[in-house]
Structure 1
């Protein structure tokens, strides 16, 4: 009775609005798994999960998230439907998802009701506190509880989140931790790593990844300052735009008097090399393994961090980042709270932080804390993925 009243009031609050005709991307063949991120912060863990689903489950992943969030160009995306039954039916009829994964705690009553009628399994991940979608205000008795009982399982980020969901009526709740990539450690070619490590011997190294043009002067200035403390220091500079390599070489060789080697020319970082410039974004796993200190490009004066900092964390690299984390704000927040990363406010701070972390013991403390955080997230993701596989197979 309570559920019926709450659902009736919720539906009435929507008014008699006709369904909106939305042009959606074509549905791919085969199974589709739908992941919904209500905020930019929720996107990080879900995109990591999406990559694993597509590689190991052989299903296509549809991701719905805020429109201003940048996703990899190959990622299938759409706008989440308004939470009215006509729009929800149209959306589900088009995509026919085999499984839906919600995040953070957002509840969409019309969508959940339609998915339950179609026997589509639903999971909630990275759950903090349950809340109804803010498309309309009002009092809907029993509606939150009914939405939660439709979830096969709720994976809360901590014990407090688990208690909040149990109090609200969720039946299957696990205090698991935050969803991260099962293993954020990127692949690499071990013989290449061993050869470069032998070539570089005991030289101190730092890495600047995904550096946009606007941040190039800051990285160069930081390296210039750090060279005064460690004259053998090598910078591995990975530009965001690889067509910038020639301009960077000219600038650093002429203005700074540095010797710059380029990977695209098959040049090696010999003892005289001051800066080494890779030629693609396919070898980050190699660079993270070589450099004990890493600056996350895009976070200082760019449009936001270009790479997931957990990639560096998984390799035990001490992380430096600026005030513009982009979609990785929650990740940097956890790294900062766990004393696993060093925040800087401007270009001058970058040079100071780099100089400080050239001391191996200081870099090691940050790196160890970062590695621990990345390992915890991997365990949570593994559990979610195993439940997901069981639901897809019809075994849970």
Structure 2
């Protein structure tokens, strides 16, 4: 495939997207009916602004979901601290809730516009960002091309590229090069990620490490922790968190195996998508299990089998109720979820072997003894039982996990250093406008 052909294909994609724009209303309406869009803010997905643009330089941050939002939070706060305005876009209702809870009024939140030219033009014309910073693996062709055509610097931070994405892009290398040449800088999580971006034509590429290693421990409502912790008492616990379809059934299988040796075991299950909780509760009840749901503030009784964590923004609570956590999307699904959050909260980390999206973090944790990978339910049950019956080994694993996270810190400062050439002119611009404003008064 020639470079000219790749550009023609991207041009066709652009026009096809513009033609499809009037037809996406049904798709957004469907997402709204499923609770995946805020009904009152649907227009933001079409690029219509939900707020006025503040005066002065502005950086557009985009973080797809909760994990990416938490990862870039310290970076966003540093940029705001320099006197620069920030509009932060996310793509999910849950991440919007995290933004409301995590940030002060210094951040303007918007839902990310559709990757279609009319929506993007409307968004970019209103917000007129001086710089765009995109988190992790959000590669949207029209967004990249529109930013490039407006000569707005765009930087990928905490960049990662999964095995599957890399293989897919390699088959379309000319398209990748035509897109990635628009990126002003890629700041990658690991050497593997960095080399993949270079192979696909991105320049320059630097490696910072994982920003998630620089995040603070997840917050918790101390009153809720004291209340639920008191209800649990001295019962042994373990958690299966960020689970995807099929992994809750694995957790129940493990629970039944563990109950033979630990009759008063409490299993905490936190599905990645809380809207699945009704179906899960019905399934667990049909198995004869007694379920307490966090969303109903159900009391945990002596014979409660499962605490179903079906709330948003309380992972810090669930992880503080145990010292053993299986991190999902790793057995019946692929890619994995962030293991650094539980490790930072003094939790021994277990996961399946499909953790490609967090390969570097898991490799470091496993090498230091802070995490263990399992292949199936029986192996998971054996690992949980071992940790429950060997407190000294459990403490060793917890300590190794925390030490691993501490050793991974530093990505934030390296990212800020790489961003300096793009941010420094905005600092000067902000100070000049402030000075001019004072003189005008």
TM-score bracket, normalised by the shorter chain, equals 0.5 to 0.7
- Counterparts of 2:333 and 2:202, CA distance in 1: 43
Match status 1:395 vs 2:427: yes
Match status 1:193 vs 2:225: yes
Alignment of 1:286-305 (within 5 A): 286-302=317-333
Counterpart contact for 2:62–2:112, Cα < 8 Å: no
Q: How many residues are aligned here?
A: 359
Alignment match, 1:365: 396
* CA RMSD between the two structures: 5.2
Alignment of 1:20-59 (within 5 A): 20=15, 22=18, 23=21, 25-28=46-49, 29=51, 30=53, 31=58, 33=60, 35=62, 46-49=68-71, 57=80, 59=86
- Counterparts of 1:128 and 1:261, CA distance in 2: 37
Per-residue CA deviation, residues 233-291 of structure 1 (Å, 9 max, x unaligned), is 22223344221364255335xx46xx554445544334444433345234221110121
Alignment of 1:319-334 (within 5 A): 319-325=349-355, 329-334=356-361
Match status 1:277 vs 2:304: no
Provide TM-score, normalisation by structure 2: 0.60
Q: CA deviation at 1:101?
A: 2.9
C-alpha change, 1:295 and 1:158, in structure 2 (3 Å) is: closer
Runs of 5+ unmatched residues, structure 1: 1-8, 38-42, 65-69, 83-87
Alignment match, 1:354: 384
- Counterparts of 2:137 and 2:296, CA distance in 1: 50
Counterpart contact for 1:321–1:342, Cα < 8 Å: yes
Match status 1:318 vs 2:345: no
Alignment match, 1:251: 286
Alignment match, 1:14: 7
Runs of 5+ unmatched residues, structure 2: 22-44, 97-109, 429-441
Match status 1:61 vs 2:88: yes
Counterpart contact for 2:339–2:361, Cα < 8 Å: no
Alignment of 1:1-396 (within 5 A): 14=7, 20=15, 22=18, 23=21, 25-28=46-49, 29=51, 30=53, 31=58, 33=60, 35=62, 46-49=68-71, 57=80, 59-62=86-89, 74=96, 76-77=111-112, 96-101=128-133, 120-126=152-158, 137=174, 151=184, 155=187, 157=189, 176-180=208-212, 182-183=214-215, 185-212=217-244, 214-239=246-271, 240=274, 241-244=276-279, 246-248=281-283, 250-252=285-287, 255=288, 260-263=291-294, 266-302=297-333, 308-325=338-355, 329-339=356-366, 340-358=370-388, 359-375=390-406, 379-381=410-412, 384=415, 391=423, 394-395=426-427
Counterpart contact for 2:248–2:269, Cα < 8 Å: no
